[in-house]
Chain A
Amino acid sequence: EAQVTQNPRYLITVTGKKLTVTCSQNMNHEYMSWYRQDPGLGLRQIYYSMNVEVTDKGDVPEGYKVSRKEKRNFPLILESPSPNQTSLYFCASTGTQSLKLFFGSGTQLSVL
Chain B
Amino acid sequence: KNEVEQSPQNLTAQEGEFITINCSYSVGISALHWLQQHPGGGIVSLFMLSSGKKKHGRLIATINIQEKHSSLHITASHPRDSAVYICAVGKGSNYQLIWGAGTKLIIKP
Contacts and interface: CB of A to CB of B under 8 A. Distances in A.
Interface of A: 31, 33, 40-45, 48, 50, 88, 90, 92, 94, 99-103, 105-106, 108
Interface string B68-101: 0000000000000000001010100011110111
Given A42-B86, A42-B101, A43-B86, A105 B41 contact: yes
A10 to B, nearest CB: 10
B99 A42 contact: yes
Given A48-B95, A101-B48, 6 more contacts: A42-B101, A42-B102, A43-B86, A99-B48, A99-B90, A101-B33
B5 to A, nearest CB: 11
B42 A106 contact: yes
Contact of B42 (A43, A100, A101, A103): A103
B45 A102 contact: yes
B101 A108 contact: no
B35 interface: yes
Interface of B: 31, 33, 35, 41-45, 48, 86, 88, 90, 94-97, 99-102
Q: Which of B35, B42, B44, B97 counts the most A-chain CB atoms under 10 A from its CB?
A: B97
B48 A42 contact: no
Contacts of A41: 101
B102 A88 contact: no
Contact of B43 (A94, A100, A103): A103
A94 B35 CA distance: 14
Contact of A42 (B44, B45, B96, B100): B100
A55 to B, nearest CB: 13
Nearest to B33: A101
B46 to A, nearest CB: 10
Given A42-B86, A43-B86, A94-B95, A101 B41 contact: no
